[in-house]
Amino acid sequence: MKGILKYQSSLITLLFIVSCMLFFTKCINNEKNKSATATVTAYSDYAGSASCASCHKAIAESHANTAHFHTSELASAKNIKGSFDTGKNTFAYNTMEMIAMEKADSGFYQVAYVNGAEKKRERFDITIGSGTKGQSYASWVGNKLVQLPITYFTSAGEWSNSPGYPNKIAFNRPVTSRCLECHATYAEKISAPEKEPEEFDQRRIVLGVDCEKCHGPAAEHVKYQTQNPNEKIAKFIINPASFSRQQNLDMCALCHGGRLQKTKPSFQFKAGDKLPDYFAIDTVGRDINSIDVHGNQFGLLAASKCFKMSTTLTCNTCHDPHKNEKGNDSLFSQRCMSCHNDSHKDAVTCKMTNDLGSKTISTHCTACHMPEQPSMAIAVLLQGKNTPAAALMHTHLIKNYPEETQKILALLKEKSTH
Chain centroid, CA 302 distance in Å: 17
Q: Which residues contact 237 (CB under 8 A, 6 or more apart)?
A: 215, 216, 218, 221
b vs e for 299-328, b when ≥16 Cβ sit within 10 Å of the residue's Cβ?
bbbbbbebbeeeeebbbbebeebbebbeee
What pLDDT is attached to residue 344?
64
b vs e for 205-215, b when ≥16 Cβ sit within 10 Å of the residue's Cβ?
bbbbbbbbbbb
Instruction: Give tens-digit pLDDT for 310-334.
Output: 999 999 999 999 999 998 988 999 8
Which run of H or of E encompasses 380?
Answer: strand 372-380
Contact 365, 356 (CB under 8 A): no
Strand partners, 149: none
Q: What is the reported pTM?
A: 0.87
Q: What is the DSSP string of 225-275?
A: HHH-TT--S--S---GGG--HHHHHHHHHHHHSSS-EESS-TT---TTS-G
What pLDDT is attached to residue 39?
63
What's the length of the chain? 418
Q: Which of 134, 175, 141, 151 is nearest to 99 (CA)?
A: 151
At residue 38, φ and ψ (nearest 5 deg) are -65, -25
Cα–Cα distance for residue pair 147/237, rounded to 1 Å = 34
What's the maximum distance between 2 C-alpha atoms anywhere in the chain? Answer: 115
For CA atoms 290, 286, 161, 129, the dihedral sign is negative
What pLDDT is attached to residue 280?
93
Query: Which residues of the chain are modeled with pLDDT < 70?
Result: 1-39, 283-286, 343-348, 357-358, 418
What pLDDT is attached to residue 11?
46
